[in-house]
Amino acid sequence: MEWNPDALRAQFCHALSEMYKTEVPLYGNLTDIVWEADAQAVRANQEAGEDILNPDDVLPSRNRVERHGAIRLGTAHELATIRRMFAIMGMFPVGYYDLSIAGFPMHATAFRPKDLDALARHPFRVFTTLLRMDLLTDKTRKLAQAALKQRNIFTDRLIELIERAEKQGRLTSSESAEFITEGLETFRWHSKATTTLEEYKLLKAEHPLIADIVSFGNCHINHLTPRTIDIDLVQKLMLEHGMPAKERIEGPPRRVHPILLRQTSFKALEETVYFRDASGVFIKGSHTARFGEVEQRGYALTPKGRELYDGILAQVNTEAAKKQASSAEYEEILGNRFRDFPDDLSQMHSQRLAYFCYRLTQNGENLAKAQSSSGTTASLSQLLQRGILEYEPITYEDFLPLSAGGIFNSNLSSSTSQSKQLIANAGPDIDSFQRSLGTQITNEFQLYERMEQATLEDCRKRLGIETVLDVN
């Protein structure tokens, strides 16, 4: 088969998903539940006479295979190498996430395809976290550095294949197959820790995620996330199947016009891990890190829309904390407060809360053919009012791990007070992240903005209009 990065990404994602199913069988059950929920949602839609005859209209093929994963890395070299590995699969760093706001000594980016075509072919993304050595206490940093120095999370053959792909711009089909098998080794679970039980406990006392990053020989995938069109139904089915589901769905409430991201998961499993004791003998212990998650994606918000979202969520959390709300009460507060976020496309468009793709209506197509508007100037609102253009929201392709406004009470209970202080005083450090990465991160807002502008520019050209006014 002809080599192309999109096909390689799709195959890699599939192989990773199959591997994770054998490692965490509950994840396999979760993907079955997602299929069931999506089928039910489509049926319910059809029965309600919603005029959706083709399930693929609601469920484009990309949804059915869509996954995101998450990994946590320890060193700049690991991050830079992962960047090279993902680039071969057409995945690039988009967005910077400062996790110190939630009390984690980590920051992150997401590797994902950037353009609409590639996203439509396969939207695999990996949320990739880097440990921040500057936010560790001296003792923990020394321990972490010593453990990380000894490990190599990439096989030698994978490095050869990466170099080959970089040099030649492609891999043969047998090399691609090897790239997948070798690449999986970076993400595979190992039940033997590389640290002693004593070291593990020290790391864990400072923050459980430090122990998760430092104590193993590679960067095991810690969850995979299929996408659904009805997350409320998935949550219900998870509970019915007796899965250890989280109490409630994170993110915005259910809406007619969904925004950003709603997520739920089953809780991380406690797994047996073998640690060496001081005399080098393996002893039994346990570690809790791996889980399964599900998400429903909505529309990408502009910085203005995001600010509104963050502000409302902050109010929700303050109110819920004051009332010590149960999850049912939280749901109610969420619903009430989110009335301030218009659930109406034309409002979201006119207030510039979300990003949109523009296209010609049938009327617009006719005008384009006739070239009757050639050389004129028109405003965007005129073109919309006259039914020449129409718009459709752009899907949010990024993450919402801990939206700034959503954090009201950082969960630092397991941190020592010195490290707590270090993390609390930290701010984002995108420069250091980019230095470690060895490249610039693409700003996600700019990416959506450019997508929007490109569709408008395409319409303008086809209509032969000179300029389109009042765009923003």
**Contact positions toward Ni ion, by CB under 5 A?**
225, 293
Q: Which is nearer to ligand OOG, 30 or 70 (CB)?
A: 70
Q: Which residue in 9, 72, 83, 287 binds ligand OOG (CB under 6 A)?
A: 72
Q: Which is nearer to Ni ion, 206 or 293 (CB)?
A: 293
Q: Which is nearer to ligand OOG, 364 or 401 (CB)?
A: 401
The encoded tokens of residue 122 equal: 């396969």
Q: Which residue in 154, 399, 433, 448 binds ligand OOG (CB under 6 A)?
A: 399
339-341-345-349 Cα dihedral, nearest 10 degrees = 150
Q: What is the size of the binding site for ligand OOG (CB under 6 A)? A: 8
Footprint on residues 331-370 left by ligand OOG (CB under 6 A)? none
Minimal distance in Å, beta carbon 84 to Ni ion? 23
Minimal distance in Å, beta carbon 219 to Ni ion? 15
The residues, any chain, with a CB within 8 Å of residue 215's CB and separated by 6 or more, are 147, 193, 194, 195, 199, 200, 203, 287
Q: What size, in residues, is the chain? A: 472
Q: Which residue in 17, 81, 109, 129 binds ligand OOG (CB under 6 A)?
A: 129
Q: Which is nearer to ligand OOG, 389 or 437 (CB)?
A: 437
Q: How are beta strands 106-112 and 125-131 bridged, if at all?
A: antiparallel
- Among Ni ion, ligand OOG, none, residue 199 binds (CB under 5-8 Å by kind): none
Contact call for residue 226 and ligand OOG (CB under 6 A): no
Contact 252, 292 (CB under 8 A): no
d(CA 10, CA 91): 11
Q: Which residue in 34, 70, 94, 459 binds ligand OOG (CB under 6 A)?
A: 70
Footprint on residues 249-288 left by ligand OOG (CB under 6 A)? 263
Contact call for residue 127 and ligand OOG (CB under 6 A): yes
Query: Token match 């700003």: residue?
Result: 443
The encoded tokens of residue 350 equal: 């006119």
Contact 370, 284 (CB under 8 A): no
d(CA 220, CA 225): 15
Minimal distance in Å, beta carbon 228 to ligand OOG? 14
Q: Which is nearer to ligand OOG, 113 or 401 (CB)?
A: 401
Q: How many CB atoms lie within 10 A of CB 307?
A: 14
Q: What is the DSSP letter of 271?
A: E
Q: Which is nearer to Ni ion, 75 or 225 (CB)?
A: 225
Minimal distance in Å, beta carbon 132 to ligand OOG? 13
The encoded tokens of residue 400 equal: 């919402």
441 closest CA partner among 112, 80, 71, 92: 92
Torsion 139-141-142-148 (CA) sign: positive
Minimal distance in Å, beta carbon 354 to Ni ion? 22
- Among ligand OOG, Ni ion, none, residue 92 binds (CB under 5-8 Å by kind): none
Contact 296, 229 (CB under 8 A): yes
Q: Which residue in 74, 292, 364, 401 binds ligand OOG (CB under 6 A)?
A: 401
d(CA 158, CA 152): 12
d(CA 387, CA 276): 71
Residues of this chain that bind ligand OOG (CB under 6 A): 70, 72, 127, 129, 222, 263, 399, 401
